[in-house]
Amino acid sequence: MNWAAIDFETANADRASACALGLVVVQGAQIVKRRSWLIRPCKVCFDLNNVMIHGITPDNVADKPTFAELWDEVHSEIQGIPLVAHNASFDMSVLRHTLDDYKILYPELDYYCTRAISQALWTTLPSYGLELVSHYLGLPFTHHAVEEDAMACAAIVLRGCSEVGVADLTQLADHLMIPCHHLCPTRNTRL
């Protein structure tokens, strides 16, 4: 089964302010592709707190494409495969709000949360932030670097599959009773 891990960073508190996207594609149990993009938000308004977290500034994205300009490329990578993200509700909210801003129809896709997977697998951790889970698993990691965050999400699923003895993401989610969430084109109400 193929699936992908994603991670967004935003320029400010607005969920439609995506300024970076990381993507890791997994086929079978192998990572086959790593990608990242800097994105020029529709409104280039960066909050200092966000810049301090991820280090991306308006100058970094001044000559970068908008999400609308990247969408066909991104969509071709994730079309028809499930996604994972840590705190998936945040990343999928960024995706939905950004697509809404550009009046792009939502893709139909399933997604899972690696935070929920981590909580079900490693029950003794004091918290389940991506950085702590990554360190617990001994993963090389630079937090808030989108490609690294997406890699950590992919590694969590792959490690979970190995520890539980299942072949893929959906089997792991079923085994751990992690819900599958859906993004549907019919739910895009701002078009």
> Which CATH number characterizes residue 42's domain?
3.30.420.10
Spans of the chain, pLDDT less than 50: none
Exposed/middle/buried for residue 109 (C-beta within 10 Å: 0-12, 13-18, 19+):
buried
Exposed/middle/buried for residue 87 (C-beta within 10 Å: 0-12, 13-18, 19+):
middle
pLDDT at 100: 93
pLDDT at 185: 82
Residue pair 93/13 in contact by the 8 Å Cβ criterion: no
pLDDT at 1: 84
Residue pair 92/85 in contact by the 8 Å Cβ criterion: yes
pLDDT at 140: 83
Beta-strand pair 30-38/109-113: unpaired
Number of domains forming the structure of the chain: 1
Domain that holds residue 152: 2-187
pTM of the model: 0.93
3-state SS, 108-176, equals CEEEEEHHHHHHHHCCCCCCCCHHHHHHHHCCCCCCCCHHHHHHHHHHHHHHHHHHHCCCCHHHHHHHH
